[in-house]
Amino acid sequence: MSELYERKPEYWSEDLSDRDFEQAVMAALGAMGWKYQDNTAAFEHPDLYLLSKVRGKQMRTALELKDKRQPYRERWAELAGLPETELLVVDEVSLRKLLGHAPRALLLFWDRTRPDRPYVLFTIIDLFCVPKRRVQRKIRLNSDRLKAKWLLDARHGFSFTDLSHVFAAIGNYLAQDLHADLLRLEAHGSFVDETVETL
């Protein structure tokens, strides 16, 4: 029997007050000379819009930020069929917000439990193609509801040790690799424990 998770008002205050990740990202963007729009206080938008020029055209890229603050419960890893150290969990609604900005849409995790590879980046094309497990849990938010989650394998994303490398990779992806990803005929990516059969 699944337990009811009750979202208490003080949790929202804690989430909004703990903005270490968002502030670190914006500081790194500023240090690298990137322009951006901060949407972190607006629930209906991705956290940031990255504003850049690609081949002379002004572009806007959506970036959603998530952090893993502590190890997940055993049940999450069991459902995902993954080692807990490779598990990342994200609300499905956060990913739906990225869809309207595809293909220039990215998800960046800060995994505080893995100082060896704290940052994991997924493109929207990765998220579309990766093997994933979707679950939902009961929550109480004004009324009893269900909240959908995606259980992702960090090994399916791109891992980085610092934010300067993250944004260098994003710049390169937007300028070059995105176009190749969109036009590639063969299966996108090589994902752990997935075999793409040739007929």
Q: Residue 53 — very low, low, confident or very high, per pLDDT cuts 50/70/90?
A: confident
Whether the CB-CB separation of 156 and 147 falls below 8 Å is answered with no
pLDDT tens across 136-156, in order? 988 876 677 899 999 999 999
Beta-bridged to residue 35, according to DSSP, are 51
Residues 192 and 194: their CA atoms lie apart, in Å, by 6
Tokens at residue 66, please?
A: 């998530």
Q: What is the pLDDT of residues 54-103, one digit of tens each?
A: 778 889 999 999 999 999 999 999 999 999 999 999 999 999 999 999 99
pLDDT of residue 7: 43
What are the tokens at 152? 């992702």
Which whole number is the average pLDDT over 109-114?
97
Can you give the pTM of this predicted structure?
A: 0.88
pLDDT tens by residue, 3-44: 544 445 554 455 555 789 999 999 999 999 999 999 999 889
Q: Residue 199: its pLDDT value, please?
A: 92
DSSP string, 142-197: SEEEEEEEEEEEGGGSEEESSHHHHHHHHHHIIIIIHHHHHH--SPS---TT----
> Which is nearest to 22 in space by CA: 163, 173, 174?
163
Cβ neighbours of residue 176 under 8 Å, at least 6 residues apart? none
Give the residue carrying structure tokens 């259980």: 151
Domains of the chain by start residue, with CATH: 5-183 (3.40.1350.10)
The burial of 82, by beta-carbon neighbours within 10 Å (0-12 exposed, 13-18 middle, 19 or more buried), is given as buried
